[in-house]
Amino acid sequence: MRIYINYRQNNWSEWLATAEFAFNNKVHTATKMSPFQANYGREPRIGFDIRKKGKNVKVEEFAREIKERHKETRAALVKLQEEMKRQTDRSRKEAEKYRVGDKVLINTKNFSMELMKRVTKKLIEKLIGLYVVKKIVLENTVELELPALLRIHLVVNVRRIVKYREQVEGQKKIPLPPVKVAGEKEYKVEEILDR
């Protein structure tokens, strides 16, 4: 259900009761009943209804029905929770174990462009730094030794870091030898990229 408010957004309080009613009346996909029905055993009333003459439901019977509804609702939610966990675990892999002193790189996926000092997101490096694990906080969180310029929290989740692997022999790029000018070694600078 959509509720429209005026463009100044100052009349939302008038629609609050309607929004609450709409939420409590909506049938949940997992429980197959509305939250109001799960709590009170009946659907919420719309306006006035004419009460039928006759006996009311006994309190014990009503309480038994509510307990049964709560049990059914809980079972449906547990089943849904297990299904969601099973689906999530399909793509989840075991987290890598880190030790104090390990060298790591930080994933920049959730970094802002201002933090990375870049104009466009696609030019930001995927992994930055070579930082050292200072302390193991929990099984899935570590504290890193970070420079003050990198304004992020020292404690990070292991999903945000990658263990640094030394380059294999023969993989390193060998820098070109310097040019000798007047008996001294000099390097030719093509372009200054940053300062």
Higher-confidence residue of 103 and 58: namely 103
Contact 153, 131 (CB under 8 A): no
- How far apart CA 161 and CA 159 sit, in angstroms, is 6
pLDDT per residue over 127-143, tens digit each? 888 999 999 999 889 99
Contact 152, 144 (CB under 8 A): no
| pLDDT, averaged across the chain | 81
> What is the domain partition of the chain in residue ranges?
12-44+57-91, 103-163
Query: What is the percentage of the chain residues whose pLDDT exceeds 70?
Result: 83
